[in-house]
Every structure is written in structure tokens, then in C-alpha cells.
């Protein structure tokens, strides 16, 4: 997957300022940065939910802008899980299965491990935020997509479920999937990611592999490493 010079403006605010990135499969990228740094916008452009003002996004060397078939290879877990409120998780899953026409087995790992079957027949509006996140996460992985996009996946999840999700992410990465995660909870990203991309006001401040980051800052923990880099760059 490749991004070339992506620009987006909302009104007068430049959300993305010519972003260029190379994303390889079998890796997990963490997109981090302060609020409003353009993380979600970038993910939404990859999914075709937001149209960029200029630039290109390529998947398997083909542009994804204004296309739709490529989304067969994408799984997405939105930051705010908004679902049809009077449907149940079961109905939503059946509906998406019906729409996607996936050939091959469904990946029900998360569905089972999260115990969604316990509340699969309750209407969405009666579910808690964490339960909705669980539904969102299992939907993102259900069709074994090649690209998995997770926007703040661990926000609202309990520690046990976070662990389950982290293990699933690591397994998927080893299966050769491309994973993109945004998160503010840096401790959740330890162990699961291979690359860190730091966005600030629509620009990439740095892009490093986790090893580079560790050797440069000599700290094991991601949060400390990021803090060290920020200090280095005079941003702290």
C-alpha cells in the first residue's frame, strides 16, 4: 500500500499536508499524534470515506480513490462505532456477510473470544460502549482481510479484551496482513506494532521501525521512547 502526497483541507484547516507513506504487508503500523493531527482522516481516505483534495492512495499498485472493489480486502473498525440502532449484533453480522459475499471461511476468533454470542440478540442501542467496540473489532477481522484498519481499537475495552485483541493483531501480522492502528494508549501498542508513524498537524514528524526507535532512545517502552524523541525534536 502506498500513499503519495495526500492533502486534505476542512474549511481553512489543513488536516493533511501532503502525506507520503509506504506500507508493507506483514507489518503493523501505529499512527500516533495529538488530537486533530489527521490520523482518522488519513484512514478514512484509505477507505474511501473521505475524498482527498489532491494526492494518491494506492493498493496493490492501483489507485483506490473513487473505487470500491478493493474494500473486499479491507477490514475497518471505526473510532466511534455507529451501527443501525435497532438491529442486533447478530443481524448486523449476517447483513454484512450477505453484502460482502465472502468466499472462504469466516474468521470467528474474536467473536468467540469476546463472547459476543452472549449479547448477539440484544438491540445495538442497549449495548455498552465496550460491547459495541467488540462487535466492531470482530467485524474488522471477520473476512480475513489483507488490510486491517483499527481506529482507537482499545478505547473502551476492558483489559482482558484488550489482550485478546492484541494477540489477534499479532497473529494477523504474522499471517502477512497489513495492520494500521491509531491509538493514544501507547502501552497498548507495545509488542504488537513494527513501525511507528508520528503525525503532527498533517505532517509526518518521523517514521521509524520499532527497533530503530529503541536503539535511538535506548528505552524499551514505547511511551518513553516517543517522549524521548519528542524532547529530541524540541516538541515537549
Residue 128 near other proteins by CB under 8 A: no
Residue 70 near other proteins by CB under 8 A: yes
CA 117 – CA 96 distance, rounded (Å)? 17
Nearer to other proteins, 85 or 191 (CB): 85
Please, what is the minimum distance in Å from the beta carbon of residue 154 to other proteins?
19
Nearer to other proteins, 70 or 114 (CB): 70
Order of all β-strands in the sheet with 203-209? 74-77, 147-151, 178-182, 28-32, 195-200, 203-209
Q: How many residues bind other proteins (CB under 8 A)?
A: 27
Residue 44 near other proteins by CB under 8 A: yes
Radius of gyration from C-alpha coordinates of the chain? 18
Beta bridge partners of 54: 7
Nearer to other proteins, 85 or 158 (CB): 85
- Block residue for cell numbers 493483531: 169
CA 188 – CA 44 distance, rounded (Å)? 22
Residue 184 near other proteins by CB under 8 A: no
CA 203 – CA 226 distance, rounded (Å)? 16
Binding residue (CB under 8 A) for other proteins from 29, 59, 76, 119: 76
Taking CB under 8 A as the binding criterion, the range among 82-90, 157-165, 204-212, 221-229 that sits at the site for other proteins is 82-90
Residue 47 near other proteins by CB under 8 A: yes
- Block residue for cell numbers 517522549: 227
Please, what is the minimum distance in Å from the beta carbon of residue 231 to other proteins?
35
Binding residue (CB under 8 A) for other proteins from 29, 59, 74, 111: 74
Q: How far is CA 217 from CA 29, 154, 171, 224, in A?
A: 19, 26, 27, 8
Q: Are 140 and 149 in contact (CB under 8 A)?
A: yes
What cell does 92 get? 448486523
Please, what is the minimum distance in Å from the beta carbon of residue 219 to other proteins?
36
Task: Return the closest-CA partner of residue 121 out of 100, 99, 143, 92.
Answer: 92
Question: Per CB under 8 A, which of residues 90..119 are in contact with other proteins?
Answer: 92, 95-96, 98-100
What cell does 234 get? 524540541
Nearer to other proteins, 50 or 58 (CB): 50
Residue 25 near other proteins by CB under 8 A: no
Chain residues that interact with other proteins, rule: CB under 8 A: 10, 44, 47-51, 68-72, 74, 76, 78, 82-87, 92, 95-96, 98-100
Amino acid at each position: 500500500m502506498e500513499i503519495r502526497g495526500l492533502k486534505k483541507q476542512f474549511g481553512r484547516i489543513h488536516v493533511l499536508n501532503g502525506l507520503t507513506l509506504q506500507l508493507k504487508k506483514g507489518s503493523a503500523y501505529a499512527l500516533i499524534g495529538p488530537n486533530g493531527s489527521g490520523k482518522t482522516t488519513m484512514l478514512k481516505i484509505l477507505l474511501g470515506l473521505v475524498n482527498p483534495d489532491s494526492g494518491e492512495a494506492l493498493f496493490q499498485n492501483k489507485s483506490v480513490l473513487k473505487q470500491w472493489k478493493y474494500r473486499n480486502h479491507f477490514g475497518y473498525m471505526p473510532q466511534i462505532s455507529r451501527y443501525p440502532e435497532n438491529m442486533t449484533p447478530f443481524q448486523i453480522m449476517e447483513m454484512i456477510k450477505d453484502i460482502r459475499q465472502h468466499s472462504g471461511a469466516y474468521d470467528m476468533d474474536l467473536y468467540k473470544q469476546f463472547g459476543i454470542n452472549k449479547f448477539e440478540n440484544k438491540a445495538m442501542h442497549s449495548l455498552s460502549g465496550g460491547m459495541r467496540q467488540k462487535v466492531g473489532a470482530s467485524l474488522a477481522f471477520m473476512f480475513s482481510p489483507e488490510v486491517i484498519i483499527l481506529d482507537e481499537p482499545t478505547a473502551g475495552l476492558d483489559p482482558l479484551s484488550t489482550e485478546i485483541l492484541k494477540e489477534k493483531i499479532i497473529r494477523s501480522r504474522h499471517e502477512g496482513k497489513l495492520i494500521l492502528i491509531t491509538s493514544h494508549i501507547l502501552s497498548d501498542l507495545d509488542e504488537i506494532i513494527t513501525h511507528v508513524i508520528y503525525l503532527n498537524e498533517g505532517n509526518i514528524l518521523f517514521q521509524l521501525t520499532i527497533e530503530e526507535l529503541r536503539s535511538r532512545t535506548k528505552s524499551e517502552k514505547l511511551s518513553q521512547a516517543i517522549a524521548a524523541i519528542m524532547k529530541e525534536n524540541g516538541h515537549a
